Structure 1
Amino acid sequence: MHVGSIPTALARAAGSYCGRVRLAAALLLVALVPTNGRADEGADFFEKKVRPVLAEHCYSCHAVSTKKAKGGLELDTPTGIRKGGESGPLVKAKDENSLLLKVVAHAPDFPAMPPKGKIPDTAVADLQRWVKMGAPLPAATANPSAGTPAREFWSFKPVTEQPAPKVSDPKWPAQKADFFILKKLDEQKLTPAPLADRRTLVRRIYFDLIGLPPTIEQVEAFVSDTRADAYERLVDELLASPRFGEKWARHWFDVARYAEDNSTGESTCRPPRFPYRYRDWVIGAFNADVPFDRFIRLQLAADLLPDTPPADFAALGFLGLSPVYHKEPKLSKDVISAFVADEWDERVDVITRGFLGLTVACARCHDHKFDPITAEDYYALAGVMANTQLAERPLKPDASASQDALTTVRLDLLDANMRLDYAKEMRGTAVKEKKDPTPFDLQIKKFEARVADLKKKEKGLDTGTIANVVRDAGTWVNGDNPDWTVIDYQPGKYRDLPVFIRGNPARPGAIVARRFPTVLSPSQPRSFREGSGRKELADAIVSDATGLTARVFVNRTWGWVFGRPIVTTPSNFGALGDRPTHPELLDDLAARFVANRWSMKWLVRELVTSAAYRQSTRHDEKFAAADPDNRWLWRAPRKRLELEAWRDATLQVSGQLNLAGGGPSDNLDSPRSVRRTVYGKVSRGERPADIHRLFDLPDPKAHGEKREATTTPVQQLYFLNSPFVRQSAVALAKATTAGKTTEDGVRALFQRVLLRDPTSDELETAARLVRPAREGAPPAWELLAQTLLASNEFLFLN
């Protein structure tokens, strides 16, 4: 249903209040369009959780490399897993009685595998989850890049500007990108849609550039502006708006898995104190159009670059806000080492998938099965993370000494709090077992004094603005005391990691020097020599891997603008990733992006001023049959507003929006939270805000490749019943209709929310709906306001 069908629904509902509620429900139940979930989620789970288990425990007997796999079972290829062995199929999708689950559980009457002992319970749970998911596997084909020299794979080649191709209508393109779009349309015998009308276009560009709708006055001003460059002037105005950074930083936060706490709240991983400094820095960076190559360097190594302004140290929150896992000091060195290795792995993953579009973390347990990434490449990068410590830093010149002192005090405080908690726990156990608690009383007193002293020192160091950052420090897990495992950070002392055999830190192999992956290096990769190697890593990402890095960001930006990226696996440009629909376009844009000094605003402007972007969403049955996914862009996509844009627009049209920015985050579930959604708290551990939980915010525990829109009944109930929607509807009705006649009130509501006048049918039926409000009936104005806020015309971007 779209808003054009409102008159009929209104007419049916106008007779009673219950009917009016049914009207709202009917509108809400069709307000969203269902889409499928992530197609590659299962394959990712297999590569990260299942294959490492098979590699460590099964490959020695059941792999192609053994020449003669036992029982005819080959577990190192998707084909072998699907085929099974002499005992029959290994896995039946979603069947908990699958042979694999029986043998790893050492079930009676089944062979026990592996024969030497059961695999860990966590690994069994991962296998069970995988089978429950349907036992998804990567494509059971040969490596698509096999037989091709590694550096000749499409995404590893240098980028060069491409000549504009000849097209059927040379007058149609407005930017160079349009020639490549039209060339593909010509090949597919498709034609572009007409240009969108000015009312549609102005709403589209406002939402895409600043994440807020225009006012009716701004719409009318643009419609009446007859200058030939009126649209380009508007684009430049919006790019210069401080609202631009608030919109576009949110895109980046998905990639950077920005969050303000950890998935567990135990004392060993207390939340960072100043996470919002990074959020505010990213917003400012987009507004200032910080070149993307510098944007990368600052986030990885701002503290190691010469002449970095103090405010830019906040960029280190990219790593400084990394997920931290609970590490109980009473656990063994081997267990703690595994947790620490998991943290390094997550940071390698977010860097390589986020900047390079490569699944390097798949090489943690073995050489990558599809891409030319070796286990040595992985541990060369993990070594950089093994010399990088989460820290706090005052944002002022020459703050290194203060940073070191503050970080030391914070670590000592963390340790003292853990020891205090442990002493209290042991005292409680002693009392329960009727033993003498006096020794623990003494420990409690000692550590309480220690905590108080450290808090005093911390307060003395907490001067000025402080950000969560990283610093260079070698990291070791110290198990000298069998009762209390500690993590030992040593600034100024650095280490290279060994290859952990099958990903197990307790099985070290050959040591690998810190360096960039071989396939991305112009020649034999050079070892990193400067501290942790973060600066050299950042330099390599934007110099040695210029083409790949530029392609990945250009592709993400295309997806954020057009709703569908050119490469539909934006964080996987490897062999198992999708191929670009428009490879010449991607290369040309990436080359020109670099030539234009990596300017993010230049790139966005280039896309939104194209003829392809300015098309209408006109539907054509013939074209839709030939290209149902609109992959060739024969029309503009119709997009559902992202959760931030919908919430911010709702606040704006209801007169509640507060444009104050920066500082500590808001609780989005609070009725007092009326700032833009980007300033709301994002949590990994606590119950997420309703709007984050229900409307597809990527899980901030890990890098977010892209958003997938879902449709659930709970979302629809949110539009009906949430305090936020009700509060907004009340505010909207009050701000818009007070003191107006029925017709004027209806007209004002439509103009405020839908940016147009109601049709005569809409005006008549809406008037019939709200007239009983004059006689003390239920608040029909509020119901009408809520209906418009939940209508397709408000929720979708044409």
Structure 2
Amino acid sequence: MPRYSSIRIIAVCWISALFFGGADANPADKGIEFFERKIRPVLVERCYVCHSAQAAAKKTLKGGLLLDTRQGTRKGGDSGPAVVPGKPADSLLISALRHETFKMPPKRKLSNEVIADFLKWITLGAPDPRTGKVNAHAGISLQDARQSWAFQAPAMPKLPKVANTKWAASDIDRLLLAKLEANGLTPASASDRTTLIRRATYDLLGLPPTAEQVTAYLKDKRKGAFARVIDRLLDSPDFGIRWARFWLDNVRYAQDDPTCAANSNGAFSVGPYRDWVVKSLNRDLPYDQFVRLQVAGDLMQPKDGESFNVDASTATGMWGLAHVVEGNDREKVIADFVDEQLDVLGRTFLGLTISCARCHDHKFDPIRQTDYYALAGMFYSSHSFKFDGESARKRVRIQERAYPTKAKQCEFAPLEKELAEVEKELVSLEDKYENPLELKKIRDELVAKLKEQPQTPNQKARVDRRIKFLRDREKNLLADQKKQGWKINPPQLETHAKLVVQRDGMKTKLGAFPLRMVIREGPVPETRHKAAGDIRLFIRGNHLALGPKVPRQVPGVFVMQGAIKISGSGRRALADWLTKPEHPLTARVMVNRVWQRLFGRGIVATPSNFGKLGRPPTHPELLDYLATRFVQNGWSIKKMIREVMLSRAYQQSSRVKAANRARDPGNRWFGRMNRKRLDAETLMDTLGWHAGRVKRSIRPMPEWKFVVNGRALYGAFSRDKPQTTLDLFDGANPDLLVPARADSTSAPQALYMLNNDAVTGTAAKLAQRAMGIPCESERVDSLYLVLFGRTPSQQERDVALGLVSQARETRRKFATNPMQIENGVWNDVCMAMICSNEFLYID
């Protein structure tokens, strides 16, 4: 039946939402970062030898083209402009890189991937921070750099005097209010209780509050009611599920690592690492231990020699999430893998872009090329993968089963060996009898699909498409069988089926000790690195051009805090150094992330870049206060969150006074709460909760059962086949570190909300439940409480009831079945509410 009124209502609701969409992160900053990571290293390594001031000094400059300054790149050489910002088709550099006109580099063409990076860079406007002339000997004084706030230990600031002494209820409030008053601003009014509990519940759990929880909070008139709400939320297992996603954004969390057809990176198990992060956050594992275990948990095992610290080893699975790139050059593969590991170390733990020093001294921060290789030596002395066979094209991650003791490991070793033999036999059969096995699989699926009973038109269309695909594939296979003469049902299929049953039974027995990705001491086997030790510097980042050995150590700018003593790979000493209470960055970076998650933007707006190209802190004293308190409270993330949420600053309304908006339109000084859109996972979880697909995690539920609760965190996160829904709503790209997500608004998002089964099905469930309430006015009240966490005003109630009457009148023109009409009417109401700003945003 047509849904004309529904579509009209939803379209209006969504169009109104467009005007409240959040802004993306500063595109200029993103462009510069892209240049530093993707473009400058290639220019340095492959282009400067012929196209730089140094080349000109040596009289080896080619074509009059200088590529070591922005001005030179845009001016071009004898043939004209090399780069025309925003116009790759007009940029001679692109045709030269493609070897269509000139050949740059002349001997060997760059990979298609690198050329695509240059295309993207020029399309972005060719952002380039290289101003002025090149000074080949320019450097950053470490002594001067150490005077910067970022490289000095946090210290408890002196609390400032404020005029509005009644507003400030905590030290956080005083430090924030001082900045507001200095800029002629006043704080926003306090949020009402319904707004506050909805904000807090989404911020901590990623789910809406239940109607019962809202009602209970509104009735609680005792002092400390909101503190009790926070404590209840922090104690919920769903807290770890919500906040784990924030952490996983910063470590390239993904369940696969696809590569080109010529290479194989194998499968690996990263779920245990994800679950460890959830468990650690729920148990409030001190952040210093959280860091130490991820950096070097494999080196922090019990001294009895008989037991294993399973969690400690599981935590190191993070390092295996780096990409194993394509190619058959072992040393190049390892170099790129270690580079991504250092990128995580730098940006996630330190807020520094260490990997920018791979080819040369960092152009903006006090990280020298020697610092890069001093740290790289620690990861070259460890390994998260190995090569399988003589070729470098087949790679496997290092995985171990979670045996608690050596005795258990010995007990199950024969079963593991037997499983490996069965799997080898299965691979052989599947290779030899690929076509008959596929035909059997297709026919089995066809039988199952034909028995399905789809509930919606969309579901039926999907089933019909799948059936058509299966029948077409069956037809093609039978045509091939007729031509090639292979047997449709050879006896080996039965052998294969028995082996599958045998394999699955073994996996079930071993399932109590799941495989998980880990890191091990020692370099990648079968490479030029034979033992843990220092490595040579790569001249211009070229792994084939080796410079002097660089002793493993922390970056020189930090040596004022003391050098570290290296043993083994050096990761244990690195972990100890990172978590010293006086470390200038570790605590600052983490508390800034906490603030970012609660306020929508960090005190440092570039949460993974505290360097020169990042944004300076808007409230440096507040940042130092939080970092100092964090360490004083035993590095407790939950205590830090609680202290921030109990401040008047957090409890401000998102409504802004006209004078404040004029003075501070971007809310730089946090004079109000930032309005936040539901992120991708939260939107999916909220829809799932209302539809009954998602369950809340409760104590004492075993942690391994969280995976069956339907939360988006436990869905597929594939680099090869990313979830289109999460991508549509700005979910994290599993190929990248994502310190802050974008907040885009697009037409496909509107189409999703209008048509996707996840939305329409949720609306149908809500309507069905609402129709169990006899009074229509009470139905509206119930829907408002469930979806918005509040009761409607009389005007809102009247509008909703007017909508009901209008929708009913419209539907009577197209249907006669009373129940069908009523279902459609309340579906319309629920769809309109789900697509409204109030549902999609957190005030």
TM-score higher than 0.5 = yes
Give the aligned partner of residue 81 of structure 1: 73
For 1:36, the aligned partner's letter is D
Using the alignment, how far apart are the partners of 2:680 and 2:508 within structure 1?
A: 41
* 2:712 counterpart (668, 677, 687): 677
Shift of 1:118: 4.4
Does residue 1:764 correspond to 2:801, yes or no? yes
Shift in alpha-carbon separation, 1:544–1:340, aligned structure 2, 3 A? farther
TM-aligned CA distance change 1:690 to 1:457, over 3 Å? closer
CA separation of 1:585/1:23 partners in 2, compared to 1, >3 Å: closer, same or farther? same
Matched, 1:295 2:290: yes
C-alpha distance 252-61 of structure 1, shift in aligned 2 (>3 A): same
- SS of equivalent residue, structure 1 residue 716: helix
1:568 aligns with 2:605: yes
Q: What corresponds to 1:746 in structure 2?
A: 780
- The SS at the match of 2:83 is coil
Q: Provide the C-alpha distance between the structure 2 equivalents of 1:94 and 1:664, rounded to a whole number of angstroms.
A: 51
Q: Matched residues in 1 for 2:341 and 2:430: separation?
A: 30
**Using the alignment, how far apart are the partners of 1:257 and 1:290 within structure 2?**
22
Partner of 1:466: 514
**2:613 maps to 1:621:** no
1:395 has 2:402 as partner: yes
Residues 299, 399 of structure 1: alpha-carbon distance in 2 compared, 3 angstrom cutoff: farther
Write the letter of the residue equivalent to 1:566: I
**Which amino acid in the other structure matches residue 81 of structure 2?**
P
Counterpart Cα distance in 2 of 1:580 and 1:417? 60
Which residue, out of 528, 531, 543, partners 1:505?
543
**Residue matched to 2:461:** none
Contact 1:238 1:244 in 2 (8 A): yes
Equivalent position to 1:786, from 831, 836, 842:
831
Contact 1:356 1:548 in 2 (8 A): yes
Q: Tell me the residue number matched to 1:716.
A: 750
Partner of 2:685: 648
Structure 1 residue aligned with 2:180:
185
Please give the alpha-carbon distance, in whole angstroms, between the structure 1 residues aligned to 2:761 and 2:119.
44
List aligned pairs for 1:483-494, cutoff 5 A: 493-494=531-532
Give the Cα separation in 2 of the matches to 1:29 and 1:421. 56
Distance in 2, matches of 1:765 and 1:624, equals 35
Shift of residue 604 of structure 1?
0.6
1:377 and 1:644 map into 2 onto residues whose CA distance is 38
The equivalent of 2:265 in structure 1 is 269
Rounded to whole Å, the distance in 1 between the matches of 2:616 and 2:730 is 26
- What is the aligned partner in structure 2 of residue 670 from structure 1? none
2:255 is aligned, of 257, 260, 265, to: 260
Single out whichever of 753-762 and 177-186 deviates more from structure 2.
753-762
Deviation at 1:727, TM superposition (A): 1.3
Structure 2 equivalent of residue 344 of structure 1: 338
Alignment of 1:59-74 (within 5 A): 59-65=48-54, 68=57, 70=61, 73-74=65-66
Q: Residue type matched to 1:29 in 2?
A: I
Determine the C-alpha separation between the residues in 2 that align with 1:349 and 1:258: 14
Is the CA contact 1:164–1:180 (under 8 Å) kept in the aligned structure 2? yes
In 1, distance between residues paired with 2:716 and 2:96?
45
Residue 649 of structure 1, CA deviation: 2.3
1:728-779: CA deviation from partner (whole Å, max 9, x where unpaired): 1111111222252333323322222123333342243133145457464361
- Against the structure 1 CA distance between its residues 473 and 291, is the aligned structure 2 distance closer, same or farther, given a 3 Å change threshold? closer
- Residues 641-675 of structure 1, C-alpha deviation per residue, up to 9 Å, x if partnerless? 12222222223334443235855997xxxxxx861
Q: 2:139 & 2:804 partners in 1: Cα distance? A: 63
Separation in 2 of the partners of 1:138 and 1:685?
Answer: 33
Offset, 1:524:
6.9
Distance in 2 of aligned mates of 1:56 and 1:458: 51
Q: Is the 8 A contact 2:600 2:676 kept in 1?
A: yes
Would you say 1:284 and 2:279 are equivalent positions? yes
Provide closer, same or farther for how the CA distance between residues 59 and 796 of structure 1 changes in structure 2, counting only shifts above 3 A.
same
Aligned pairs for 1:167-316 (under 5 A) are 167-264=162-259, 268-273=264-269, 275-307=270-302, 309-316=309-316
Contact 1:263 1:701 in 2 (8 A): no
Counterpart secondary structure, 1:54: helix
Match of 1:126 in 2: 117
Whether contact under 8 Å (2:804, 2:829) holds in the other structure is no
| Distance (whole Å) between structure 1 residues aligned to residue 178 and residue 331 of structure 2 | 54
Residue 624 of structure 1: SS of its match in structure 2?
Answer: helix
Change (3 A) 1:771 1:104: closer
Distance in 2 separating the partners of 1:417 and 1:254: 39
1:483 corresponding residue in structure 2: none
Deviations 1:600-644 (A, max 9, x none): 011111111111111111222222122110011111111111222
Q: Among 673, 678, 683, which residue is 1:636 paired with?
A: 673
Residue 126 of structure 2 corresponds to 135
Alpha-carbon distance, 1:121 to partner = 4.7
Q: What is the alpha-carbon distance in structure 1 between the residues aligned to residue 415 and residue 608 of structure 2?
A: 33
* CA distance, structure 2, for counterparts of residue 176 and residue 293 of structure 1: 24
Secondary structure in 2 aligned to 1:509? strand
Paired letter, 1:136:
P
Bigger Cα displacement from structure 2, 94-103 vs 550-559: 94-103
Q: For residue 631 of structure 2, give the secondary structure of its aligned residue in structure 1.
A: helix
Counterpart of 1:36 (choices 20, 24, 31) is 24
Residue of structure 2 equivalent to 1:534: 571
- C-alpha distance in structure 2 between counterparts of 1:642 and 1:29, whole Å: 19
Contact preservation (8 Å) 1:569, 1:577: yes
2:205/2:233 contact within 8 Å kept: yes
Letter in 2 for 1:91: V
Residue 516 of structure 1 pairs with residue 561 of structure 2: no
- How far, CA to CA, are the matches of 1:88 and 1:421 in structure 2? 61
How many angstroms does 1:304 deviate by? 0.9
Q: Give the distance between the partners of 2:139 and 2:662, measured in 1 at CA.
A: 29
> Structure 1 CA distance, aligned partners of 2:70 and 2:428?
51
Once the two structures are overlaid, the 10-residue window that deviates more, 192-201 or 219-228, is 219-228
Q: Tell me the equivalent position of 1:443.
A: none
Instruction: Tell me if the contact between 2:141 and 2:366 (Cα under 8 Å) persists in the aligned partners.
Output: no
1:264, 1:192 → 2: CA distance? 52
TM-fit CA distance, 1:502 = 2.3
Q: Quick one: which amino acid aligns to residue 680 of structure 1?
A: G
**Which blocks of at least 5 consecutive residues in structure 2 are unaligned?**
303-307, 385-396, 434-495, 812-817
Q: Distance in 2 between matches of 1:115 and 1:783?
A: 64
RMSD: 3.7
Which residue of structure 2 lines up, in the alignment, with residue 52 of structure 1?
41
- Structure 2 CA distance for aligned equivalents of residues 505 and 411 of structure 1: 39
Given residue 268 of structure 1, which amino acid in structure 2 is its aligned partner? Answer: S
Cα drift, residue 251 of structure 1: 1.0
Structure 1's unaligned 5+ residue stretches are 1-14, 426-447, 479-486, 667-672
**What is the aligned partner in structure 1 of residue 90 from structure 2?**
97
Q: Is the 8 A contact 1:737 1:748 kept in 2?
A: no
Q: Which residue of 1 is the match for residue 475 of structure 2?
A: none
1:152 aligns with 2:156: no
| Structure 1 residues 589 and 500: CA distance shift in structure 2, 3 A | same
2: CA distance, partners of 1:728 / 1:460: 35
8 Å CA contact 2:592–2:602 kept in 1: the answer is yes
